[in-house]
Structure 1
Amino acid sequence: MIRPVLLTVLLLSPQAFAAAPVELERREATPQEVASFKEFYVSAPGQPVFSATRAPGARAWEVGAVVSGAPYRGLGALCRATKREFAYDARAPKESRWSERRTVRLAWLDRRAGCPAPARPAELAQRIPDAELIPLMNNYITLLQRARLLFSGNTSCAPLRSDRFALRSFDVSAPPFGKEELHGLVFENERGARATVWVKKRGAELLPWDVACSQ
């Protein structure tokens, strides 16, 4: 019977032997770290959220701060927001211990007033116009399901073809796809493996065109 064979394959797959995620040590930001950030970020709006983590056995703490901007309405049900991420270097001179690491663009769909944000909105790795982004957000589940056949033909994606994924971000292609841009839907499974489904537009139709995976 086929069921025992499938079970054997699953038990012997690389995911079965994957190491458990490392549990980071966490603490509150110190009053000195908070005061240092307020001096650095003196005139900008938004309340910072601090984090301090350390890997097991490490001596140094990685301290960061995130400042989220207010959500704003895009086209139709589209909501957008940005957040700025900052990193702290305790060894740097006092006046330059904080630096901006990156600005993150976020998007989600919600017709309610005020655009209440979900727990984890999708990130935009590249700027995408509202009219192009909304169809991708409305159809990402269908596009993922239709791309499952492409997983089987890709060495890095084949072991993930039956996994459950959550949408994490949107991207825009660069070569090797040539002059025509493709949109990428980036998904993540519960183990942190990522699968990107590259989507081509043909008229009003969205077609899964290629996949790429990393574990």
Structure 2
Amino acid sequence: MAFADGPAAALPLLTAKTSPGTPASRPWLDGAPGDELDEHMRTLLPLAEHERWSITGAGSTNDGPTDGLTIALDRGPQAGRCSIRTMLRTGLRIGPRSSVHGQVTDAVATASLAVNCLLLDAVPEGLERREAIAAMDAAGMRSTALAEDRDGWSVEPLTLDGTDYALFTRAIPEGSAAHADLGWATIAMWSTGPLFPGPFRLAEVESGDDLRVR
């Protein structure tokens, strides 16, 4: 199953996995329930050890090592859940069906993915299939338009290991979205409320590190 929360042209071909017990009310966001992250991956996390987060999605290219990981910080109903996806740069590859694909890397595609995830979070549950598809299509078109409007994005520092990376942020009626380029990976972030303000750290994550159960 491929992650399906970005415009089709910008999506990596990923095999979705989640940690045990992950809610799967929106399978296009969270992957298939019951699968586990089977390798560790360097991931953007909150700096504070007490911040509780859970693994909500993971993926790999051509069933290889994990190269995309999403965590969620549950801050309660007032602040809203904030999701952070770390995507390793894998380069462009030829898949088993001779299609060329790779992870999202450019600013517009990463921004579009972040906004699209946010808009899909706002899609009501229980829609008929036709309504759900229409809502997803509308979210994809709107996310692309917002991502391409670069003047609408603000920039602030994302400090990691002494380096200030550029974190591009944008607020829309449904919530907030952000994206960053760390060189070796790209970051997409979204929340139905304000974004998690940080600070952040980089750490190797395994399925047993999921703090939802602690």
TM-score (normalised: structure 1): 0.26
TM-score when normalising by structure 2: 0.26
Q: Which structure has the greater CA radius of gyration?
A: 1
